[in-house]
Structure formats: C-alpha cells, structure tokens
Amino acid sequence: MAFLHGVATGHSQVKNALKGRSLTPYLLLAPGLIWLITFFIIPIFSLASTSTMVRPDGAQVGVYVQELRFANYVDAFLINKDQYLRSFIYAALATLVALAIAYPLAYAIAFKSGKYRNILLVLVIAPFFTSFLLRTIAWTQILADQGPVVSAIKVLPFIDDLFRINNTSTAVVIGLAYNFLPFMTLPLYASLERIDPRTLEAAGDLYANGLTTFRKVTLPLSMPGVVAGTLLTFIPAAGDYVNAAILGNPSTKMIGNVIESRFFAVVDYPTAAALSFTLMATILILVSLYIRKSGTDELV
C-alpha cells in the first residue's frame, strides 16, 4: 500500500512539475524568442519600410528617405517579372526532379536496407558536409562542354554538335534539385519508416498487388513526408541565386540574383526590398494553399 501511495504521489508530483502554471516556460522561451523577434521579425518590418523609400534628388548613393511610395512594388515587379516567374518554374521543376529521385531512395532505405539503414541515412546527408559552393562548382566541371556527361550524350545520333548543358536552364534545375535533395529525402524517409509493415501485409492479404498496395496504402500514408519534403525543397530553391549564378547564363537569372545585384551592384535598396517582400509573400501564400489542399497542418 505504501508503495502504491508512493507511485500515486510521484505521478501527481510529475504532473505538477510538468504541467504546472509557472513562470518557468516563459523564462525558458524568453531569450531565444527575443533573439528571433529582434533579428527576424523586426528586420521584416525594416524590409517593408525600406521597400517604400525613395532616393531624393542629388542624394548620395545608398541614401533613401521614407515616402511611402507603394508604386515601388509595381515598378520592381514589372521590370523583373520574367525572373520572378522563372524562379517559381525552376523551383517547381527542381522539386519534381528531387521528388522523383528521393522517393524511391527513401523507400529503399526504409524498407529494403535491413541492417545497413543507419549507414545509408548517414550517406544521404554526408555529401552535404562538403561546402555546397564547391559541389555546385564541381557540377560545372561534370556538365562541362568537354566533360563526361555531354560527351556521352553527344554519342547519340540525333544530338547536334552545339549541344551543351552548362550555362543552360537544365544545369540550373539539376543544380537546384541536387542541392536540396536531403531536405526531400529525410522527411520522406521519416514518414515511410513510420508505416506499420502489417498494413502492407494486410493489403496483400486482401489480394492487392504491389502497385495497388503502393497506390492505396503506402503513398497515402507517406503524404506528410511528401508535403514536408516538397516544401523544404521548393522554398529554398525559389529564393536561391547561387545555382543560377554558377550554372546558368544571363537569361536564366532568378529573382534571388536580381535581389542580390540590386543590393550590392546597383545599391537600389528599395527595389531589392520590394522584390524580397513580394517573394516572401508569394511563397507564404503558395505554402498555405498547398498545406490546406494537402490537409496536413502538422507542420506548423
């Protein structure tokens, strides 16, 4: 009895300690949240404020005053709508390529790897210990005009001599898909690994063949991973400018390239700010539509 009593008080103690209304959670949260508010939320407002500024006549380079000129957004968008649209198209293509590569890969690791599972998971993230800039530059060598890939493709009879991959949109999409592949693979793996193998056996017992089992059981159960993976690939890909700068040409510039050059080469802060703000707003709208459509609110 005494023992039971101890267990009972123990439980209630834990309950009090863990769920009690105290100041402790707020004290734990405060430093980190203050950091995020100061260096993430306030800068977003700062960005918004910069986006409506105007350069006074005859002022120094980089000096702007607030005039609440919302037409900055219209100007910035109209000049750069090609790069803007291109960013989303490239990001969408790269996301599809990454999904096509990562889904079977994650599936193989989750269901077919046996005792090598942990090693294979380490191997998925291992390439990302090498600087991503060096890896992107390595792609320029791999896809070079005299390089192995282009030479191999040129052997085909219907490929003409001027065929190249480097400095084309194909190279940019390949680079983007490559760079964000682990962000696609890991959430897919996490959701596939959670599937109870008995549900797959049950499908087999009910005379579903391999394809039907995949379509009706595995795929729906892995949807949270698909949603998380596509978001984690699409968002950074849409804002990236490194792949377009290294693997592309002037006509494959993405919105990130424009924002960077407006900030540093042109020193036109309001346009850069307006473009960044529009990019963020568009992504947030797309993401919330996508999350609602796919019915997974778990992410947030």
Partner 1 sequence: MTTSIAPMPTLSHRAARWFSRNLIRIYAAVAFIYLFIPVAYTFAFSFNDAGKSNLVWQGFTLDNWKNPCGAPQVCESVVNSLKVGVISTLLATFLGTMIAFALGRYKFKGRKSTNLLIFLPMATPEVVLGASLLAMFLNLRINPGFWTVVIAHVMFCISFVVVTVKARIASLDPRLEQAAMDLYANERETFRYVTLPLVMPGIAGAALLAFSLSFDDFIITNFNSGTFSTFPKFVYVSAARGIPAQANVVGSAMFFIALIIVIVGQVVSRQRKKP
Chain positions 81 to 100 lying near partner 1, rule: CB under 8 A, are none
> Which is nearer to partner 1, 96 or 120 (by Cβ)?
120
The window from 103-111, 163-171, 193-201, 219-227 that contacts partner 1 (CB under 8 A) reads 103-111
Contact between 299 and partner 1 per CB under 8 A: yes
Contact between 260 and partner 1 per CB under 8 A: yes
Contact between 195 and partner 1 per CB under 8 A: no
Contact 103, 188 (CB under 8 A): yes
Contact between 191 and partner 1 per CB under 8 A: no
Chain positions 35 to 74 lying near partner 1, rule: CB under 8 A, are 35-37, 39-44, 46-47, 49-50, 62
CB of 116 to partner 1, least distance (A): 11
Count of Cβ atoms closer than 10 Å to residue 102 Cβ: 27
CB of 260 to partner 1, least distance (A): 7
Give the gyration radius of the chain's Cα atoms.
25
Chain positions 149 to 188 lying near partner 1, rule: CB under 8 A, are 178, 181
Binding mask 108-147 for partner 1 (x = CB under 8 A): xx--x-----x-x-xxx-xxxxxxxxxxxxxxxxx-x---
Contact between 246 and partner 1 per CB under 8 A: yes
The window from 24-32, 72-80, 165-173, 193-201 that contacts partner 1 (CB under 8 A) reads 24-32
Contact between 287 and partner 1 per CB under 8 A: yes
> Which is nearer to partner 1, 158 or 277 (by Cβ)?
277
Contact between 249 and partner 1 per CB under 8 A: no
> Which is nearer to partner 1, 160 or 236 (by Cβ)?
236
